[in-house]
Amino acid sequence: MAAPRILVLESERLMRDVEMGEDSPTTKKPVGSKLERRFPLTRWEFAAALGVFLVFAIGLFCIYLTMPAADYGKLKLPRSISDLRILKEHLATYASIYPTKFILGYCSTYIFMQTFMIPGTIFMSLLAGALFGIIKGIFLVVFNATAGASSCYFLSKLIGRPIVYWLWPAKLKLFQAEIAKRRDKLLNYMLFLRITPTLPNLFINLASPIVDVPYPVFFLATVVGLVPASYVTVRAGLALGDLNSVKDLYDFKTLSVLFLIGFISILPTILKRKRIYE
């Protein structure tokens, strides 16, 4: 008689689980709830992100309204080196006639793209070299990249945590562990990441506030660390005719130089650890 009694009790427990909606191994979860959890943002977070995007977009549109007349049909974000050559030919005269307004529009577009992770900033960096030369081009690229990265940092601090956990859960855990190990020399480590292509800049911008990288460290590492890569792209922009693909920018020689500079940036950390072990 014990077996039927056990079956009756188990059946009653299962019925209670179904009625109360408890998460038990034997109850099925609604398909809708799984689909809702796939989207990382809540409605309020999504509304905040959309609001920030619209504010930036409206500001950018207002800036373009103040620009002198131009053939806007030819103004589009380049997606290849050939597109960039056409855009450069169209903008060269415009930039020379209206330098201040052109730089305002260029900077606004670059920062907007960097803030909202829109692909194509590499072409904007090449365009800076083609139109402004090395010195002015490097200054513009580093300024815009740092401003855009800073905007992305604070936007991620506001609503980025669920997005980063959703996109890169394993990479974020590894990054968090590396940051925790290098708290005493965090600036050197962040410089290494900025100088070398070890981690994508997009991931660094989004993940840094989540793993508690202080903004002063983030800012300084960005300003200094982006200079070598900016020099490479700006210098390549001076000779667009000799460039066939973006992949040509980072050959073995260029990557070796970047990693050498990055190694120098973390050399103090390595020497300090060696002294501790000795």
In a domain, 251, yes or no: yes
Residue 237 near residue 137, CB atoms below 8 Å: yes
Count CA within 13 A, CB hemisphere, residue 8.
5
**Domains in the chain: how many in total?**
2
Co-location of 263 and 200 in the same domain: no
Which pLDDT value is given to residue 234? 94
Judge if 159 and 253 occupy the same domain.
no
Backbone angles phi, psi at 41, to 5 degrees: -100, 145
Number of CB atoms found within 10 A of residue 132's CB: 22
Residues 107 and 132 in one domain: yes
Residue 252 and residue 210 share a domain: no
Q: Say what the pLDDT of residue 73 is.
A: 58
Residue 270 lies in a domain: yes
pTM of the model: 0.77
Q: Are residues 159 and 222 in the same domain?
A: yes
Same domain, residue pair 195 and 263: no
Cβ contacts of 257 within 8 Å, gap of 6 or more: 228
Distance CA 144, CA 113 (A): 10
Same domain, 85 and 221: yes
For residue 36, the model assigns a pLDDT of 39
Q: Is residue 193 part of a domain?
A: yes
The per-residue pLDDT for 42 is 77
- Phi then psi for residue 30, to 5 deg, are -60, 140
Assigned token pair, 226: 């982006």
- Span between the terminal Cα atoms of the chain, in Å: 74
Residue 9 lies in a domain: no
Q: Which domain holds residue 270?
A: 247-277
Structural domain includes residue 146: yes
Helix (H, G, I), strand (E, B) or coil at 67: coil
Instruction: Write out the chain's pLDDT in tens, 278 residues.
Output: 444 444 344 444 434 443 444 444 444 444 333 333 456 667 777 787 788 888 888 888 887 777 766 555 566 778 888 889 888 888 888 888 888 888 988 998 999 999 988 888 999 999 999 999 999 999 999 999 999 999 999 999 888 888 899 989 999 999 999 999 888 889 999 999 999 988 999 999 999 999 999 999 999 999 999 999 999 999 999 988 788 888 888 888 888 888 888 888 777 766 665 555 45
Residues 228 and 271 reside in one and the same domain: no
